[in-house]
Structure 1
Amino acid sequence: MSSLNLLDLQQRHFHITCPAGFDYDFMLDFLRPRIIEGVECVTQGKYARSFHFEQPYTADGYTNGYFEVEYQTVENALVVKVVCDDDLGFDIVQQRVRFMFDLDTDMQAIERQLQSDSVLQRGFVDNRVPRMPKAFDSFEFCIRAILGQQVSVKVATTLAKRIAHSTQLTTPESFPAGIDFFFPQCDDLLHHTFDGLGLTSSRIATLQVVISALRNEVISLDKAQVFEDFLEQWTALKGVGPWTANYLAMRGLGIQDSFPDKDLGVLKALLTSDKYPTRKAVLQQAKAWQPYRAYATLCLWNGLGH
């Protein structure tokens, strides 16, 4: 696939006021080891990434560009620079940035539910439940969730980088250093070969099944869908287990009660006498965290230093 030829790039700046207690450093610390090299980067307190998402009303069917985010401590605000080839794309990017940094979640209700749990408290930040670092691009995160099955964060991130680079959706030279590729979307990968990228044949098969199911609208990445329906539909696909579906729901769609109960980090955080708890015991313990088990999971991870 050839480089995208972007014309008529426009630039705008936004100031997004953050909620009291917002912890930008925590967000960057979480994102930094998960960065897809060439698509996004973190340098000197600034997060930057390209974007390439479907918009049927545009000439080529996509909105393309990049954005940069910095945090202003005095104003308690995110300063967002957006460069985009579609005038209507600016508001969409701003909404996605708000989602990515979890700015619109009512943390008071979550803290009331979780604040007294001594296990979760190990993962609090300044005695607070941390906000959830979410995905700017739900489709991209869907691919990453599949790649993350039973491998480390580092391996999954490396595989995501290889996929992004292999589609050769290169950015214009005017983009910032380190933002060299767009991450492909569903149609970009529909007939793409994943050979030679270090993926197992079963992982490739799962990617192809999910991409086809999304294109044929058998499944959806709609953030407003009913969680139980989402789980049923996604786990019915060959190669997609409960961990993948819950992790996607948690960080890709922002579903607050998603819970990857078989996640190794969760199990490590709940160790007792050097023994992993049974699944039944994990689910029983997690009942006290409902309907915010996703945030409880984040606390468990953070307590391990993830």
Structure 2
Amino acid sequence: MRPERPPTIASTAAARWNSLLPTISPWLHEEVARRMEERLQWMTMRPESWLHWEPLRGGMQAHALLTARYPKAQCYVVHALAQHGEMARKSLIPSWWKPERWVGPNLQFAEPAQPVQMLWANMALHMTDDPQALLAHWHRLLEPNGFLMFSCLGPDTISELRAVYAQKGWPPASHAYTDMHDWGDMMLHTGFAEPVMDMERITLTFATPQRLLQELRELGRNLHPERFGALRGRAWHTQLLQALAALARPGDDGQLQVTFEIVYGHAFKAPPRLNVGPELRVSLDEMRANLRRIKKNHSPD
């Protein structure tokens, strides 16, 4: 995959979404973080320092799982916006009367002065307009042989909703999500080594179309440049609810099913390569002549 910005993500829409102050981590994000945390049991390195990238959306409950796994490790919590960082601080730092506030290293709410050994980023990459730049930033925050753990949405996400929009002749229901193989290529291009990619599909059910739309609004926004360019009326909203109600399958008690493809990835930061000078070629005759000169210069008078 070429290192360029995704063509189906509008930068202005992505910036607007990332500026919104989350009130709670979505259930799906917390579940994905829990599953990703279980994968840490296979990592041989126990980091002495790690960075949690934007936990307000990525998973505030997951932060407790990670600190329990690495209780002695120094943790840095990083948000791009100060307002988000302040909310995370209020949520993650225990009250002064709780014993856990005084046990273990203090949480730091800024990028570390020195690189860390693990960077944890849950469900963030698919909502940025320049994922290559974000991967490069994460790469700089890691020390050599440190590792990145991340997850994001894959191409099959909300395929049912995409089909509804296509049947109605409406603009795309969402921007396109990147395939896991392309994520692996981008990590290699950024300088990561040994990327390991995996995916799974999670099917969520909803009792009503309204509940489905509420969940989707918590998970993200449609960042496609060709999305609806203006407000839609009540008649359109009624059509949407009716079309979503048709997603219910017989025998599912009227539940609406929507698929989410989850991509998991981890990779190491390769140590710097040794700088090797230009190749020097010497012929056999030149070597013999040099040896004769050396012998002559060192022979006794």
TM-score exceeds 0.5: no
Tell me the TM-score normalized by structure 2: 0.24
Tell me the TM-score normalized by structure 1: 0.23
Larger Rg: 2
Higher-strand-fraction structure:
2
